[in-house]
Amino acid sequence: MGARDTMPSLNFTCAKKYSSLFLATRSYWKSCSYAGKTVICLGLSALIHVVLGFSFELSVDEAHYLLYAKHLAWSYFDHPPLVGWIQWPLVSLDASTGVLRLIPELLWLISCALVYIVTSELQRFLQYKGSNTAAAFPPIGASGFAAVLIVIAAPLPHVLSVGLLPDSILTPLSLGLVWMALRWLQTERSFTLSDWLITGLLLGLAGLSKYTAVFTAFALLLVVLCPPRKPWINKLGFYLAMLLALLLISPVLYWNWINDWISFKYQLAHGGGSEWLFRRFAGFIGLQLVAFGLLFAIGMIFFLKRFWAKSPAAIVCLLGFFWIPFGIFALLSGGGGLPHWTTPAWFCLAPFAGIGIASAWASQQRRLIRFIFVLQIALCLSGFGFVLSGGIVSSNPRNNPIADLYGWDQAGKTALALSKTNPVAGIAVQNWTLGSRIAWYARPMSVFILDQRQDQFDLWFGKLKAGADVIAVNWSAMPYTLPVSGTQPNLQGAFTACQALERVEVRYLGRVLSHFDLSLCKNWVPKDPN
């Protein structure tokens, strides 16, 4: 028998083997409980996150918060300290970027687990409220599974699962407070001392993670005041919880007190943004729907349509964990804002949307849900591939947002090496977003920001002194004219002269993404403040 005669037989054998494997996998999937399916989906997502975490360099915010851990303090200029504190053990061990990124991945997994738990508790609560119509609800496990799938299919939370931001920490803490709120609303049980202490612990840690945790605290207060009212003002547990929360946030208060309350002044100005424009507000709403997905909206439509009557007052109060922070950020978005600020709010909405999606699925309304889910997963996978591919092929690095994730390690180490052969006071850049990664990859060199804006770098390294020499770093995707006497004036001052030293080309997958120009700038002359 010749080779040609054996090929069809081999192809048939391979096809039969893969068909058997597919059928076995499908049979196993169908036999899994909803909890088992949830674990499988989270495991696959986590594997993708870990691969991404080891594949590219730090983003600007990641590097900034890692510097928090390198410069431990009671608090910091722009955020409370918890985002730096929790990274300190790994930073002190000089862990790699991929290992450091296991922290946000763990927080993402905890958040997803809490989404499943809170969804189950929420459905039990609503079924108890409307026990005579409990059959209208889908299986509790199905609701939890659907809620987790909504989160997995949301594009933006995957960013926070790879890069640690304060919102990565605030998200599980907010879900923990939703869980405690559900326990408070259960009329058949009392709110125990341990419940109060857990609530105080969660509030305090939330305050240590981000200043916007105050919106979550307002949502919790709304639930406490929700009818039917329970006595709380005369409970010892309430005062112990408040005392615990205040003790936990006391480092932030103390640090701001001795630093003229600069964090609060900065946050008030930062939150207000610039001139309010309706187009910014409309763009924010549209971007939120893309960043977190339509499944949230579809799930909420079905939830409110089918289960609103179960307990309207309680639902409004519990939804406060979403609509209070989201509404405030939406109103502020007319003056400017960032899309990830609402992440904790969307995670708190997921249990409601999950019950709605599971209910619609059980009633055979599956085609639209399946289509939107596949579309969102395809968007997520496209985003992962876009990052790993190096982004857009363009001669201008400013057109490629992914160029921001490559080359900083090489640039930082080159700047550090040049600083050893050219005695200088440190490294200089002209924007804080350029400073964070250079400061991380060129540590322990001082990094000076040559702009008028006060920021954390001024607290870490101070202002550049008169007569100082530096290694100036300029990046092609955010280029600046070096502040030299006789050129366009810098708000802070100018150097007598700058001499080009080296150009670092950033190559990835055979193409140049951007480049860094490093120069020796001498004799800094600050501007006369008068």
Q: What is the reported pLDDT for 394?
A: 73
pLDDT over 90 at 158, yes or no: yes
Residue 224 pLDDT grade (very low, low, confident, very high; cuts 50, 70, 90): very high
Tokens of 368: 């639209």
β-strands 493-508, 511-526 pairing:
antiparallel
- Looking at 132-136, 344-348, 365-369, 447-451, which range is the least confident one? 132-136
DSSP track, 364-375: T--HHHHHHHHH
SS3 472: strand
pLDDT in tens, 492-501: 789 999 999 9
Higher local confidence (pLDDT), 338 or 358: 358
Tokens 């190559």 correspond to: 507
pLDDT over 80 at 102, yes or no: yes
pLDDT in tens, 402-424: 889 999 999 999 999 999 898 99
Residue 511 pLDDT grade (very low, low, confident, very high; cuts 50, 70, 90): confident
* 3-state SS, one letter per residue, for 335-366: HCCCHHHHHHHHHHHHHHHHHHHHHHHHCCCC
Q: Which of 212, 210, 199 is nearest to 164 (CA)?
A: 210
Higher local confidence (pLDDT), 454 or 262: 262
Q: What is the mean pLDDT of residues 169-174?
A: 98
pLDDT over 60 at 3, yes or no: no
Q: What is the mean pLDDT of residues 502-512?
A: 91
Q: Which of 306, 413, 399 is nearest to 353 (CA)?
A: 306
Percent of the chain with pLDDT strictly greater than 70: 91
Mean pLDDT, the chain, integer: 90
Q: What is the reported pLDDT for 18?
A: 61
Q: What is the mean pLDDT of residues 233-241?
A: 92
CB atoms within 10 A of CB 455: 17
Q: What is the reported pLDDT for 17?
A: 63
pLDDT over 60 at 122, yes or no: yes
Q: What is the reported pLDDT for 13?
A: 65
Range of 148-157, 329-338, 479-488, 501-510 with top mean pLDDT: 148-157
> Residues 326, 342: contact at Cβ < 8 Å?
yes
pLDDT over 90 at 364, yes or no: no
Residue 144 pLDDT grade (very low, low, confident, very high; cuts 50, 70, 90): very high
pLDDT in tens, 297-313: 999 999 999 999 888 99
- Looking at 6-15, 271-280, 455-464, which range is the least confident one? 6-15
> Residues 59, 165: contact at Cβ < 8 Å?
no
Percent of the chain with pLDDT strictly greater than 90: 69
Residue 256 — φ and ψ, nearest 5°? -70, -35
Burial of 349 (0-12, 13-18, 19+ CB in 10 A): buried
Q: What is the reported pLDDT for 130?
A: 65
Q: Which of 500, 499, 494, 501 is nearest to 523 (CA)?
A: 494
pLDDT over 60 at 4, yes or no: no
Q: What is the reported pLDDT for 228?
A: 78
Q: What is the reported pLDDT for 31?
A: 78
Q: What is the reported pLDDT for 277?
A: 79
CB atoms within 10 A of CB 249: 19
Q: What is the mean pLDDT of residues 6-30?
A: 64
Residue 129 pLDDT grade (very low, low, confident, very high; cuts 50, 70, 90): confident
